[in-house]
Every structure is written in structure tokens, then in C-alpha cells.
Chains A and B, each alone.
Chain A
């Protein structure tokens, strides 16, 4: 009360009615105003997993686009010296003289008193020369070569030679020799030429050798380099090894990345675009048209997706020498748009009821303005999330089709077709399957995580409970 009394009218001066100085710190907006997209970006940035996936995608894109510029190896070039070579394998080769015919004589320095089959000369990838003593009691002999030692199972496989003479003999093996350990077994045959359990085994370590002419032909050294027999040369370098045709896996992964990522990004973009156009038209017009259009979309959804993908591949008929990328794109677009169309239609139907659309219409906005200015921008978040989640599913589809041999046609590489080829040699050379499989998985993982992050950042209604 005393306060009130103190401001008695008599004590007021003119100065008391002067306006106060403007002060920002009292009624200012403390936080900067952010648009919807700025806010979403901020949320995405604070999501560690989404950020990681974003970097992963950038890396994969760089791998596809810039990779072939850095690693300039022709993905279809065959290195026949190094077939199915695992990464990090020894790639040195010794230079040897040209091959000359052999008459069964033991090379000096290889004389031995050992019984049974033995090498008569240096065993290298040019030739393995074997000699053996007479086998008493045998009718005939058969020679086998295996990459595993013969166990009690006596699984010899296919013979490489058969000898009717059981005297001391010799054999020269030149069949597709690789630097590896080979197990030669000389099996005794009985009178009716059947295998007996008597055999003599010899393990031979084969060294990789190369002739001077081959070195020059494959341009492994500079043209003016001085080389002599006995020198070591390095064969061409394959950081991720080679496949069953001796093609460089890194180069194939890069060109495969171009194919897989191209399909994986372009196809979703196109079918989402088609879905947005279809869905927004249906949702905006509404009524009978909407019902008919959506009923048609329901039918397309009901088509068994992978079966029709395969069917379309047949319909478009991949001719010889064609890559099969365009048919796959068309088939993907024809079959995948309805999901987006349904989603967008639902969103548009919702937005149509909003007050700001009515207000805009009241102010004289045309239909196309309403769609382009209000409806599509407001569904953009949902569309973006759909797009991101569509990428991994398309990459899976491409890999699946290429894997069953209905996708990208050889020699074009894609991660799926590389996995398919790698499957055949999975037991002996797992790297041919594992590398493309890792790249498919990484890409799918990255886009899935990014999709999760985008969904959390863009649309609080769709936010997953974490």
C-alpha cells in the first residue's frame, strides 16, 4: 500500500511519460527460428548412426564414380597367370627358359634313391616331371592328381594318365598347373583293370614360373628392363584377388557398383516419381476417379513381384551383348509404384482437409498451385523416407535376379552376378563370393540406417520407439 501511495499524481514529472529505451533482451525470441528442413537436418546430424550411414553412402558412391579413375584396370581383362587368386597371395614368378620336350631322363641334381614316384626335374607351373620304378604284381598303372591328400576313402577322382607297362616309367604333367601343392597318386590296377587299394603317393609343391616372352607380352616390366633366366618378376597386382576367369575383383566390384547403385538409385527415384504423380492425382481428384485408380493400384500390388520381375525380363528379351539394365529398370518401375502412390494419396487426402488449404483456395489458388505449393511439399518428408527405404529393396531385387541368372547379363558385372559366379567356387575360393556380398550388405545397411534416421528426423509421427 505504501508503494501505491508513493506514486501519487502530484509527484509525477513529465519525464516519467517518456518512452523507455528499446531493450532486446526482454522480449526477444531466444532461439533462432528454424525451418522444417533445418530442424530435420539438425536432428539427423545428432543421430550418430544416420551420420555414419551417410558417410558410408558417400564412400560407396565415390567407390563407384571415382574408383575406376584411380584403379584403371579393365574389369573384363583376364589374367590367366592368376586365376581365382586370393587377395594377398604371393605373386612373384621366376623366369625360366622356354619349354623343351622331355625324354624321361632325370635332370642332374634330382637323382634320388627313393622308391615310388618322384620328381625328375624342378616342379614348376610349366611342367611337373615324374618318374617311378617298376611296380611288381600290377597289371597296369593309373596316375591321379588331386589337390587334397588321398585318405582312407580312396577318392581319386579322374585319372590323368594310364600305363599298360608296369616297368619303370615317366610322365610329364602340363595340365593347368598353378602354384599349389599337388598330390600325385600312382594306383595299381588288377587283372580286370579295376582299382586296387595299393597306391603310391607323392606330394609336389609347384612353383610359379614364367618365360621371358610371356613377361614381355604381358608388359609386367618396363620394355627396356634387362632380365635373365632365374630372375624374379612380379605378376600384376590384384588387391582383392581375381575371379574364376582371372579378372580383377576390385575393378569388377567398381564397375559392378556402377551398375548396382545406378539401378538402386535411379529405379526408386523414377517409381517414386510415378507413384507421387499417380497418388496425388487420385487423392486430389477424389471420388469415383480415386476409387478406380486405387483399385487398379491394388491389382498391381497383388502381382507376385519377383515372378513378374522375371517374367518382364523374358518379355523385354535381353539380346546377346546387352546388359539387361534397361529392362530391369522398366520392370521395377512398372511393378513398384503402387506403394508410393497409396502413401501419397493418403497424405494428400489428409492435407486436403487442412485449414490452410481451404484458406488458400478461398484466396483464389488454382488446383495446380495447391498441389505444387501445399500438398507435395508437405508430403516430401514421407516421400524422402520411402525413397531411402526403396533403395535397399531394389538393390536386393537386382542382386536376387542377377544371382538366379535373370538380371544383368555377362560380361557386365553387378554385385549380384558376381556373387552368383562366386558361389560355384565358394568352397575353395571364398573371396569371390564374400567381397560382392559384403558390398551388397554394406549398401543395404547404409540406406536402411539412413532411412531410419530420416524417418526419425523428418516425421515425428512415424518416429520409431527407440
Chain B
């Protein structure tokens, strides 16, 4: 297990290095100049700005400094918000995105497992039909439509009751988090439900379930110990990519619900061409996603010993 963990972490580090390099190359092939416009009024100002951001050095040296700074955990200074460290931006806004994302993953995983198990048990009966219809809807409707409809519903609910049942936008309390995270987790929940259903159906017909029933175990015990536990395995595998999808999908939800998360910041930085913020957030997000996937893999290896042997 330790060897497996070490191997995966090493792979993860190399992947993060690759992401950092790709980001560096991409941002240095952007047409135009990061210090342009009215800020660089004269040549002297321009030269000073270039020196401040280290743009006066040859590209190879810039790359070495860039990677060195990343290793030290320093993402540089923002271009548009002078004197603001990218680290500060990430420290301030990432916890918001992370909270939203964790809640959404929680909603998606719990909902997916529950609905999936239900549909498998009530196969081809009314609950199955209804849930599977909703699942198809959940897979086909883009997240921003869910976000917009969720907000519209909140407005109407609040109007109906005459007071603010749940806030329509903003961030701060648990009440602010419920609807956005539910909306964010919706697509993944639908996907996980489908996965859970087919994995559950496979298990229901397996020999050991029949044996368990035949030897007279109570139905709940068969369900919990034999069916659910084994059927969850494939769901755990896709949890890594699901976290990635949810984190980046959060941009839209943050935009619609006016949540001060890192995703909204990233979109804003892209629109303002804030180079250091773009690079910093991309690498940070990339590293976060890579290690989340590794974490899920390790978790999977812990649940299912067959994986780590290979």
C-alpha cells in the first residue's frame, strides 16, 4: 500500500509539473503584451514594469524562476490589482469554492447512491420510471439552466411566503449554500444514479446475493452488506473525475448566484488578461484536481484490495 501511495504521488507531482509547463507555454504564446495600454505610458515605466514582473529576462530563465517560485508556493503578483498577491487571492476565495464543491459532491454522491439503489430495487416499476426520467433530464440540462431555474424558483418561493426563506444570491451562511450546491451537484448526481443503477442490477443477480438470501439473511442485511457495499465500488472510481467536473462546473454557479469563489475570479482574470492570476489559478486548480483524483484512487485501493496489488 505504501509503495502504491508513493508511486501515485510521484506520478501526481510529474503531472502537476506538466500542467505548470503547459500553462507557462500557453500564456507566453498569447498574442500581445501583458504590460500594454495606458499603464505603460513611457518607455521608462514600461521597463520598470517589465523588471517588476521579470519579463525582461530571456524566456528560459523566466521558466526556471517560475517553476522555482511554484516550488516555494509563490504565485506572483496580480497584473491588474497592483500589489495583490495571487496567493492572497487564492487563500481568500478558494475556501468558498471548496465548500461549495464539497457540498455538491456530497449531495451528488449520496443522492446518486440512494436513487440508483432505489431504481434498481424498484426496477421497471413506478419509482424507477420516475427517477430515470429525472436522471435523463439531469443529464441533458446544462448546469447554468439549473442555476437559473433554481434562482427563479427561490425568487418565487420567497415572494410566495412574503419573506426570505432562502437567500437568492450571495454567500456567508449555510442558507446561502444549500441551493447552489444542490444545483451544482445535479448533473453529477444524475450520472452517478445511472452508474449505481447498472452496477446494482448486476449485483442483484450475482450468486453471492442469491446465497445470502437462500441462507435466510434479513433483506436489509443483504441490501446493506452484500448489495450496496459492492455496488458502490464503481461509483467511487468515477468520484475523482466527478470532483473535477464539479469544481470547474462551479464557475457557472458562482457566476449566477454571485458567490465570491475562485472560479468567478478566474473568469474575471481571463477577461482582464491578468496573466499571473490566470497562471496561478490554473496550476493551483490543476494540482488540486490531480491530488483529488489520487486521493480517490487511494481510497479505492483501501476499499478494494484488488486494485493495489496490480
Q: Which residues of A contact B (CB under 8 A)?
A: 298-299, 302-308, 310-315, 317, 392, 396, 399-400, 403-406, 419-420, 423, 426-427, 430, 433, 437, 440-442, 444-445, 448-449, 464-465
Closest residue of chain A to B147 (Cβ to Cβ) is A423
Proximity bits, B266-286, A CB within 8 Å = 1, else 0: 110011010000100110011
Q: Which residues of B contact A (CB under 8 A)?
A: 14-15, 18-19, 22-23, 26-27, 29-32, 136-137, 139-145, 148, 151-152, 155, 198, 201-202, 244, 248-249, 251-252, 255-256, 266-267, 270-271, 273, 278, 281-282, 285-286, 289-290, 293
Cross-interface CB contact of A304 among B30, B151, B248, cutoff 8 Å: B248
Docked CA distance A430–B23 (Å): 39
CB distance from B17 to the nearest CB of A (A): 9
CB distance from A43 to the nearest CB of B (A): 19
Q: Is the CB of B19 within 8 A of A315?
A: no
Residues of B within 8 Å of A299, CB to CB, are 14-15, 18
Residues of A within 8 Å of B155, CB to CB, are 427
With A444-B139, A448-B140 in contact, do A314 and B273 touch (Cβ < 8 Å)? yes
Residues of B within 8 Å of A449, CB to CB, are 136
Residues of A within 8 Å of B27, CB to CB, are 311, 314-315
Q: Is the CB of A308 within 8 A of B22?
A: yes
The interface centre, meaning the residue of B15, B29, B270 with most chain A CB atoms within 10 A of its CB, is B270
- Sorted nearest first, the 6 A-B pairs with minimum C-beta distance are A445-B140, A306-B248, A437-B145, A465-B201, A302-B15, A317-B31
CB distance from B88 to the nearest CB of A (A): 20
Q: Is the CB of A404 within 8 A of B22?
A: no
Residues of A within 8 Å of B23, CB to CB, are 311
Cross-interface CB contact of B267 among A317, A392, A399, A404, cutoff 8 Å: A404
Q: Is the CB of B285 within 8 A of A440?
A: no
Docked CA distance A185–B276 (Å): 51
Docked CA distance A43–B23 (Å): 46
CB distance from B296 to the nearest CB of A (A): 14
Docked CA distance A381–B267 (Å): 39
Docked CA distance A404–B139 (Å): 20
Docked CA distance A427–B152 (Å): 7
With A311-B278, A403-B144, A426-B152 in contact, do A305 and B248 touch (Cβ < 8 Å)? yes
Cross-interface CB contact of A315 among B30, B145, B267, B271, cutoff 8 Å: B30
Residues of A within 8 Å of B29, CB to CB, are 315
Closest residue of chain A to B139 (Cβ to Cβ) is A448
Docked CA distance A400–B22 (Å): 23
With A307-B282, A307-B285, A437-B145 in contact, do A400 and B19 touch (Cβ < 8 Å)? no
Cross-interface CB contact of B270 among A314, A392, A400, A465, cutoff 8 Å: A314
Cross-interface CB contact of A303 among B141, B143, B286, cutoff 8 Å: B286
Cross-interface CB contact of A404 among B136, B140, B251, B286, cutoff 8 Å: B251
CB distance from B231 to the nearest CB of A (A): 12
Cross-interface CB contact of A310 among B14, B202, B256, B270, cutoff 8 Å: B270
